[in-house]
Amino acid sequence: MKDDGPKGLTARSSARVIRSIDEQAIDVEGFAPDSDQGTADSDQAASDADQAAAKRDEADAESDQQAADRDQANADQEKPADASGVVLEAYEAARANRKLTTIGRRATQAARARNVRSRTRSTLERETNASTRDETARRRDVRAEEIDRLEAQSDAPSAEILQDSRVRAAKTRAQAASDRHRSALDRADAAAEREVLDAERTTLEAQLRQAQKMEGIGLLAGGVAHDFNNLLTVIRGNATLALAAMPPGEGPREDLEQIIEAADRAAGLTSQLLAFARRTVMKPQVVELATIVRLLEPMLRRLIGEDVMLVTTSNGAGLVMADPSQIEQVIVNLVVNARDAMPDGGRLTIETADIEKTDPTDSPSQAGSAGPMTILSVTDTGVGMDAETMDHLFEPFFTTKGPGKGTGLGLATVYGIVHQSGGTITARSQLGHGATFTVHLPRVATTTPISAEPPRPAAIEAARLGTILIVEDDRGVRRFASRVLEAAGYRVLTASDGATAIDASAGTPVRLLLTDVVMPDMNGRTVAAKLAPSQSGMRVLYMSGYPDGNIVRHGVLEADVDLLPKPFTAEALLSAVANAMTRAAAD
């Protein structure tokens, strides 16, 4: 019982208080609210610790109660009735210790209760957080399931849309490929067309340059021929007058005859120049090419010689509208050119035929000619020509012959006559294989050739009555014409220009106006128009070495127009004047 006395009780109670305080401190220090990241294991461990602590508390409480009961019993037994002060102090100390122990135990129990409540709150918070997380996860799962469901529901339409998109994409690619292919074809076609157009443009440019060159040469030749014809008229006319006035066998007759012969040759050259320049005056009529060839054949055989064999063929009527004399000149010039290409003899073929030409671009020089045509071809077996010669073939004064053997105007004359007649001419040749010249002329529909108008008879003596007004700006020509007409018995008035002619004829009836066509200030047509009101019944005879558009349309004289071409002889002048005066008398 000594050990259970006041001192032992006090020590034991102190130890329990200290242990409970230590446990409380341990529990308080070890307590920490679990975060949302706590696990179930930590919660279970804390719960187990609380249960163990509660059991210990119950055991301690029971032990303390038992100790208290024992202490109370001991106290009741040991408390003296008249205890001394020391014993009372020990007794009171023990009671205080017991109270302190009780207080400590209650504090510990309160702390443990708080700890439990705190853990409970933490657990609830963790459970709440877990529930929130679960709810969030659940909602996320529900949303995912909804998305999956919607995707599952839209799988078929999406597949169809995807398939349609693929089909459209495939069609777009196919269309793009087709467009590229078509674009490539278009580019190829455009390139081919450009090549064709470039070739045609090159050909047309070459034709244009050739035409411009030929036109320029023609204008030059025509201008030269106009002035030269005036000179030839004066030279030959005065030589003729001088020769006529000279008695036979006296004076320089031979010299005058040579002058006249040279003037005639020069007149032939100017005639060829004008033919090339298409400035000759035509008298077209319906003629048959085969007939003209047949009539010329005897003369052509003498012209080509015995060492050249001439063959003529005809296939069709060959009716064309042309000047017969000019067609004869075309044939003769082509035959002479073929003869000169066969110095050792050969074969020359002249063919006429009717054809139907449907393509106007068969040959560069035939551009624009199409429809029913009549051809005249001249083929030789001569030396042929190279490409350079072919390029200059129809240019005037171009010749491959030696000096003194050709004027270079034969083919140029043919070119001018054919084109003035509305036709074309082509040439084919190779060195050593001869050449073929082909003339294309438009075929006419009529079946009967029209003969030329018969020449009018010479003027009767009564036709020489009346006054003739000569208007000519060239003094030599004017003087020669007036001398010839005055010698023939006509009354003659002369003027150098239109104004002078109007003044000179004032008050004098004029039976015939003989006027040049091309004059400065006032041309012949204008002079005739100004004199017509005051000279009723006046007839007009034009003279010109270069007829222009005043009296000629496309190489043909206008209706009821008389023309005396220069250079003219005295006989030609008198014949033309007599015919005009006769018509004036008939009117």
**C-alpha distances in Å from residue 150, one per residue of 81, 153, 162, 445, 483:** 96, 5, 17, 91, 126
Mean pLDDT confidence for 262-277: 72
pLDDT digit string, tens, across residues 510-538? 889 999 888 888 888 889 899 988 888 88
Q: What is the pLDDT of residue 392?
A: 79
Q: What is the pLDDT of residue 469?
A: 93
Q: What residues are paired with 349 via a beta bridge?
A: 311, 379
Q: What residues are paired with 380 via a beta bridge?
A: 348, 435
- Establish if 292 belongs to a structural domain: yes
| Per-residue confidence band for 140, with pLDDT thresholds at 50, 70 and 90 | confident
Q: Are residues 421 and 562 in the same domain?
A: no
Q: Are residues 487 and 420 in the same domain?
A: no
DSSP secondary structure string, 178-189?
HHHHHHHHHHHH
Mean pLDDT confidence for 159-166: 74
Mean pLDDT confidence for 233-258: 81
Mean pLDDT confidence for 81-90: 61
Highest mean pLDDT among 65-79, 328-342, 571-585: 328-342
Mean pLDDT confidence for 465-480: 89
Q: What is the pLDDT of residue 157?
A: 58
Q: Are residues 420 and 499 in the same domain?
A: no
For the chain, what percent of residues have pLDDT higher than 70? 68
Domain that residue 571 falls in: 461-586
Q: Are residues 529 and 416 in the same domain?
A: no
Q: What is the pLDDT of residue 28?
A: 40
- Choose the final residue of a domain: 107, 124, 151: 151
- Establish if 273 belongs to a structural domain: no
Domain at 345, CATH number? 3.30.565.10
Higher pLDDT, 409 or 158: 409
- Choose the final residue of a domain: 151, 168, 202: 151
Short-list 269, 376, 284, 294, CA closest to 326 = 284
Q: What is the pLDDT of residue 2?
A: 42
- Choose the final residue of a domain: 151, 183, 212: 151
3-state helix, strand, coil in the chain (%, to 5): 60, 15, 25
DSSP secondary structure string, 408-477?
S-HHHHHHHHHHHTT-EEEEEE-TTS-EEEEEEEEBPS-SSPPPPPPPPPPPPGGGG-SEEEEE-S-HHH
Mean pLDDT confidence for 402-410: 65
- Establish if 206 belongs to a structural domain: no
Q: Are residues 344 and 419 in the same domain?
A: yes
Q: Are residues 326 and 422 in the same domain?
A: yes
Q: What is the pLDDT of residue 356?
A: 80
- Residue 69 carries which side chain, given as an amino acid letter? D
Q: Are residues 431 and 299 in the same domain?
A: yes
Higher pLDDT, 238 or 63: 238
How many angstroms separate the CA atoms of 579 and 587, rounded? 12
- Establish if 41 belongs to a structural domain: yes
Q: What is the pTM of this model?
A: 0.48
Q: What is the pLDDT of residue 436?
A: 93
Cα dihedral across residues 471, 473, 475, 477: positive or negative: negative
Q: What is the pLDDT of residue 116?
A: 74
- Establish if 565 belongs to a structural domain: yes
- Establish if 355 belongs to a structural domain: yes
Q: Are residues 432 and 302 in the same domain?
A: yes
Q: Are residues 427 and 496 in the same domain?
A: no
For residue 419, is pLDDT > 60?
yes
For the chain, what percent of residues have pLDDT higher than 90? 9
Mean pLDDT confidence for 69-76: 60
Highest mean pLDDT among 97-106, 268-277, 301-310: 301-310
Number of domains in the chain: 3
- Establish if 361 belongs to a structural domain: yes
- Yes or no: say if 431 and 250 are a contact pair by the CB < 8 Å rule: no
Highest mean pLDDT among 213-222, 361-370, 546-555, 560-569: 560-569
For residue 197, is pLDDT > 60?
yes
Question: In whole numbers, what is the pLDDT of the chain averaged over residues?
Answer: 75
Q: Are residues 499 and 539 in the same domain?
A: yes
